[in-house]
Structure 1
Amino acid sequence: MALALVSTEFLTAMGLMVVLVGVPLFVLGVIALVTGYIQYDAERYLEELESAEVAEDGELADDHR
């Protein structure tokens, strides 16, 4: 019932503000989430490459003895 006391123009303006603010915040949140995952995955992949390289170097050093 309290909603009937508010004018339709005000509700339209509030809905527009929610869309104008909420949608960009949602999009930025999704972009931040994807960027964070890509960065995490890249760091993990680089660590795997470095550990494989260290293991390879250790095997090469053992072979030269």
Structure 2
Amino acid sequence: MTRGNQRELARAKNQKKLAEQNKGKTKTSATSLAAKKEADAEALRQKIAAKAAKAAEAGGGSGK
């Protein structure tokens, strides 16, 4: 059992490192995460619609 102290020191060092990594991060709630996903999905829908409108204006059709 010569490594008992080493393990404890490594564990404490790792906990300190993880605490530093998570220091500036904010935790998001499930509702804010769902709102972000919905906002991203809406932005993607608008982007696809704009691309389709541009293709229809050029007379390209479906583009396949």
TM normalised by structure 1 equals: 0.48
Point out the structure with the larger helix share.
1
- Considering Cα pairs closer than 8 Å and 6+ residues apart, tell me whether 1 or 2 has the greater RCO: 2
TM normalised by structure 2 equals: 0.48
